[in-house]
Amino acid sequence: YSQMKLKRVYYSGYVPVSNDNRLPAIGTPVPMVRENRLYQADWLLRNYGFGVDEIVTPDDPFLDMQIDPKLGWALRNLHQFPVDINNADLEIIKRVPGIGIQSAQKIGEARKFRKLTWDHLKTFNIAANRARYFLNLKADDFRPKDYTPDQIRNFILASSQTKYAANHSPQLNLF
């Protein structure tokens, strides 16, 4: 964005144009989840302060189609968690899976007046099923345990529903 002075980028799923065996076959539906992941990664770059090297790495150069890029980053960086929601910097709170920009701002305002609990966080519309593995609220019942990234990933996938569940719904034809 900074080098090209771009404000916005638009993405489209692949459209096969060759019979190369490395490409999906002609007539294969465009996986909408792939396009969605590109937009999610773009959003993290533009609005959350992530760098490209944080979203994809040399060891993991592709976006995970099962989980969003923010969750993927958090699972690769478990050493930065759990975050104490009552003391952490807002930039760190924005990086917690399940907490968006507006929710982070609400958390920042609310914690000026009281120690926050899970009940408070639920009123801020956070996705508790994702955030709970990355937060530490000392006064609450749930405490993050020493889960592995794979365990957390499996817990979150088991508890979530996606609109892309049925094998990546196809893109509709325009013509």
Task: Decide: helix, strand or coil at residue 59.
Answer: coil
User: Buried (b) or exposed (e) across 111-149, using 16+ Cβ within 10 A?
Assistant: beeeebebebbeebebbeebbbbbbbbeeeeeebeeeee
Task: Decide: helix, strand or coil at residue 100.
Answer: coil
Given a cut of 60, whether residue 83 has pLDDT beyond it is yes
* pLDDT score for 164: 46
Q: For the whole prediction, is pTM greater than 0.85?
A: no
Summarised one tens digit per residue, pLDDT across range 8-66 is: 788 877 665 666 676 666 666 767 888 899 999 999 999 999 999 999 999 888 899 89
Q: Is the dihedral of CA 111, 42, 15, 18 positive or negative?
A: negative
Summarised one tens digit per residue, pLDDT across range 119-159 is: 888 899 999 889 989 998 865 555 556 789 999 999 999 88
Given a cut of 90, whether residue 93 has pLDDT beyond it is yes
Query: What is the C-alpha to C-alpha distance for residues 96 and 118, in angstroms, rounded to an integer?
Result: 15
Length of the chain: 175
Question: Which amino acid does the sequence have at 46?
Answer: R
